[in-house]
Amino acid sequence: MLKSTLLLISLFASVGCANVGTADTLTGTWTNTSCYGVAMMPDDVQSCSLTLTFAASLDVTLSDSRLTRAANLTYPRCTTVRRVTGQRYSTTPDAVVAIAGTGTATIERTNCINPVDNSAAAPDSSASIMNGSYSYRINGNTLTISAGPLAGMYTR
């Protein structure tokens, strides 16, 4: 009897934990057209795309993609992507997401006018997601983070 009760309890516990991440409305990939870490688009950048992925495993990934202008002196018309992985997130019932942990960042340059400017993903120390708690709101397919380095409107 005790053995079957413990088995039943562990079954309910594992099912409950497995559904938490997938039921969270934040889970998924969100994108906007801003450059991470700056208030305005840098002069040498033609366009940006910032992607946040909140996985059901509670891992968070940031991808900051920037296309430089064709007339730039350095890295003309290159797509530079910085990716940060390895950090975790959690949410609260009052719509706060907390980012924690130490991330690992890489930088990669592709599609450059000058092929010698292309570079495979390599370690990068300049990009990270600042640990902290950020208020957010989800309305349909729009995520709004109200303050901090991730502030902005994102779409699924």
Domains of the chain and any CATH numbers: 26-155 (2.40.128)
Q: Is the whole-model pTM more than 0.85?
A: no
Measure CA 36 to chain center: 10
Task: Give the tens place of pLDDT for each residue, 74-103.
Answer: 889 999 999 999 999 999 999 999 999 999
**Closest Cα to residue 62, out of 53, 71, 70?**
53
